[in-house]
Amino acid sequence: MKALGHYAAATSLVVIVVFGVMLPFLDGTGRASLVSAAVITVPIQWASFLLVVRALGEPSQFLLRWGIGILARMLVVGAVGLLLPRLAGMDGGVLLLSVCGFFFVFLLLEPVFFRSKGTERFAQ
């Protein structure tokens, strides 16, 4: 659970930094879309990370759970893409790009926190 706490802190920091950097470049709807993207992606990412962390040390379960997490992310991106015309008051481009961008960065962070759990588990 320690790895999840560190990962949650890191992903939250990423969201805060991205919002701070993008703030001057976005209008009101763009900011709302960016916040919505974070609200959509962060809980899904934490759940998939927890799912994978619990399978460390079991290679077949690890790959299965990682695949489930990837599929969940793909379904979310697809759902956001298909529902964009129905999301009132949001900038569709900012929302979709933010969802994809957050998932990409969060996915790149995962292995760092797997290692913090202990590299000896990968040697089994």
pLDDT reported for residue 119: 44
- 32-42 mean pLDDT: 91
**Token pair for 82:** 């298909």
Whether residue 12 is contained in a domain is answered as: yes
pLDDT reported for residue 113: 83
Domain total in the chain: 1
The full DSSP string for 77-106 is HHHHHHHGGGSTT--HHHHHHHHHHHHHHH
Whether residue 67 is contained in a domain is answered as: yes
pLDDT, tens digit, for every residue of 64-123?
998 999 999 999 999 988 887 676 678 888 889 999 999 999 999 988 887 655 544 444
Whether residue 94 is contained in a domain is answered as: yes
Whether residue 100 is contained in a domain is answered as: yes
117 vs 6, more confident: 6
Whether residue 123 is contained in a domain is answered as: no
Give the structural domain span for 107: 2-118
pLDDT reported for residue 92: 81
